[in-house]
A and B are shown apart, each in its own frame.
Chain A
Amino acid sequence: MGLATYLALKEIWRNRGRFLSVALVIALITLLVLFIAALGEGLGTNNRQYVANLDAQLILFLDKSDYIISTSRLDQSALKAVRRIDGVADAGPISTSSTTILLGDGKVLKVSMLGVESGRPGLPPLVEGRPFRTQLAREVVIDRNVALRSNIKVGDKITIRSTQGIADEFFTLQVVGLTEGQAYFFAPTIFVPPSTWERVRPKSAAEANKTIPDINVVAIKLEDPSQAEVMGGILGNTISNVQVANIETAINNIPGYSAQQGTVQTQGVFTLLIGVLVIGGFFQIQILQKVPQIGVLKAIGSSNGMVGAAAVIQIMVVTAIGVGLGGLFTYIFSLFFPPTIPLVFNGTASALAIIALLLIGPLGGMASVIYAVRIEPLKALRLS
């Protein structure tokens, strides 16, 4: 192993320009894979973050709504029924909509607007400020992402533009709290009390005088979270015309979520495959150029094991350098990306991507290693 390492490192060092260029190609592939992984994570996060962070174990949907939050419609009686069931610690309504915050100078910020009750599952923990005083208050809690994009602070007043029937109406809300990491359906989120939500949400002319808010789903917090499956069955059997899902099912049924994640993952896999081909091609060409040299090594008494180990070590070192450089480039680039681009460098996703990248070297170079081991010194030295 020592001699194989010696040979591998000497060759890399003496041909550092050539090997560095391959390492740079690997670095670019790494950059691409890490960005795709971060983009996938960012898009996924933007889509699911609010649901994933809910302080609840189950979500109640309208029956046959296919667990899609936006298509589910429940009435207040369903919410009350849930709260009466033994084993339910708390339940909170969630009403979803989207709206536009006017930022001045003609600028707007499109946000997801969620109607939730203060102190119930649905309103996430606040990092600053306070919850709504009443369910009718013209108050709003904003996500930090809204604050970052708009410079709105707790204590400010914001103006919301909402289409009511065929006309635009404007509502002023007081920002009372700040929460963190609560993106939903690709947009930063604001939270308002249910009655306020019903008043300010965009609606048709037929709905214009409606005062009792619609509920899309009910977030259910259980006394014993480990009993989620059992409680799901009880809820489904007790309350008519509903279906119950755990958080994971709810996330996977967010429109487009699975397809989007599948697309991003496919891109990542194809990029890795390209990496395998690039690295494989390079090392294969290199081995072909080194046939006489490997013949000499074998003729003077180097074992197949040593020749193979030298090739593997070389591939691993070059791959590791490439991945290291790629990681560094990714970090540097990420510093210059604005918060509007949904890049999330999740530790697990990045680690998996890096492990996959480290494996593509040996995988791509495997054919060349096998070729090197099979070189016959007689033929290589043209003695046969």
Chain B
Amino acid sequence: MSVAALEVNRVMKTFMVDDSPINAVDDVSFKVSAGEFVALVGPSGSGKTTMLSILAALLQPSSGQVLIDGQDLSKMSEKERVRLRREKIGFTFQSNNLIPYLTARENVEFMLRLNGRSGRVERMRTDELLARLGLADRLHNLPAQMSGGQQQRVAIARALIHNPTLVLADEPTASLDTERAFQVVETFANLIHENQRAGIIVTHDLRMCRYVDRVLQMRDGCLVRVYEGKEEINELMGAGAH
């Protein structure tokens, strides 16, 4: 039985809209183990982005518990949360992912520098990871000199290079064509599995679920269903296709 890298217990997030409380995340609980790749899906406004922000330690839940590597986010100060994001979380975003004035290699290395690690060994690891992602000839390119897919792959490398416990991806394929999108998510999934990280991808594109181990479906802030196993996931993808 694998250890839960992420544990979410009865998390709620309530926003006040026109003096009325709205539960953006409503009593959600789940666990993600190391080496497990999970998709968080749901229609727009279902609460998945709010959930992702809570998992990324960017937003405090109104109640409930989020444990990353056993550390309770709700008990942390802002400074501790910044440190947790730096050390335990890898993050890729929908767009504006990379620092525009750093090359591909520098963008990835930056995560290591942020954690006080830089040197020849780290550089070799960076280059190897970028090569693994098919970017060996793009090490010295600035983001503006790369395609959207290449930029996403650099972002994936940056999210993984410092061996985080949890890797989060917010709609990483939103700006990519279908072929590139499949490539990116497949590579992401492979790296999550190989490196034994807990990975969560938020996506509206159910076709991307073919690479995940589990799908958490949200609606109106609630976790309405969990799809496990190839059969159930294929069923979900089939339903999505129709």
- Indicate, yes or no, whether A interacts with B: yes
Known: A14-B142, A302-B114, A383-B53. A297 touches B99 (CB 8 A): yes
- Known A378-B58, A383-B58; contact A299-B101, beta-carbon cutoff 8 A: no
Q: Determine which of A6, A296, A299 lies in contact with B113 in the assembled complex, contact meaning CB atoms within 8 Å.
A: A6
A377 to B82, CA, bound (A): 11
List the B side residues contacting A3 at CB < 8 Å. Answer: 113-114
* Chain A residues, Cβ within 8 Å of B237: none
Contact A378 B59 (CB under 8 A): yes
Which chain B residue has the least Cβ–Cβ distance from A306?
Answer: B114
- In the docked arrangement, what's the CA distance between A6 and B8, Å? 37
**Cβ-defined contact, A301 with B53, below 8 A:** no
A303 to B77, CA, bound (A): 13
Bound Cα distance from A10 to B143, whole angstroms: 14
Q: Fill in one digit per residue for B125-157: 1 if any A CB lies within 8 Å of its CB, else 0.
A: 000000000000000001000000000000000
Q: Mark out the residues of chain A between 287 and 328 whose CB falls within 8 Å of any chain B CB in the assembled complex.
A: 292-293, 295-303
- B: residues with CB less than 8 A from A are 49, 52-53, 56, 58-59, 79, 82-87, 89, 91, 93, 95-102, 106, 111, 113-115, 142, 158, 170
Q: How far is the CB of B74 from chain A (nearest CB, A)?
A: 17
Does A384 belong to the interface (CB within 8 Å)?
yes
Would you call A381 and B101 a contact (CB within 8 A)? no
A-B contact pairs, 25 of them (CB 8 A): A3-B114, A7-B99, A10-B102, A13-B101, A14-B101, A14-B102, A293-B96, A296-B93, A296-B97, A298-B82, A299-B85, A299-B91, A300-B86, A300-B111, A300-B158, A301-B83, A301-B86, A301-B115, A302-B82, A302-B114, A303-B82, A378-B58, A378-B59, A383-B59, A383-B170
Question: Contact: A300 with B114, CB < 8 Å?
Answer: yes
Give me the interface of A with B, judged by CB distance under 8 Å: 3, 6-7, 10-11, 13-15, 292-293, 295-303, 377-378, 381, 383-384
Minimum C-beta distance from B106 to chain A (A) = 7
Q: B58 is contacted by which of A292, A293, A299 (Cβ under 8 Å)?
A: A299
Which of A10, A295, A301 has most chain B Cβ within 10 Å? A301
Beyond A296-B93, A298-B82, A301-B83, 12 additional pairs, beta carbon < 8 A = A10-B102, A293-B99, A295-B96, A296-B99, A299-B93, A300-B91, A301-B82, A301-B84, A301-B87, A301-B89, A381-B170, A384-B53
When the two chains form their complex, are residues A383 and B52 in contact, meaning their CB atoms are under 8 A apart? yes
A11 lies within 8 A of B114 (CB): no
CA distance A298 to B84 in the complex (A): 12
Q: Is the Cβ of A296 less than 8 Å from the Cβ of B96?
A: yes
**In the bound complex, how far is the Cα of B58 from the Cα of A231, in angstroms?**
76
| CB <8 Å contact, B101 and A10 | yes
Cα A4 to Cα B126 in complex, Å, equals 21
State which of B58, B84, B87 has its C-beta within 8 Å of the C-beta of A377.
B58
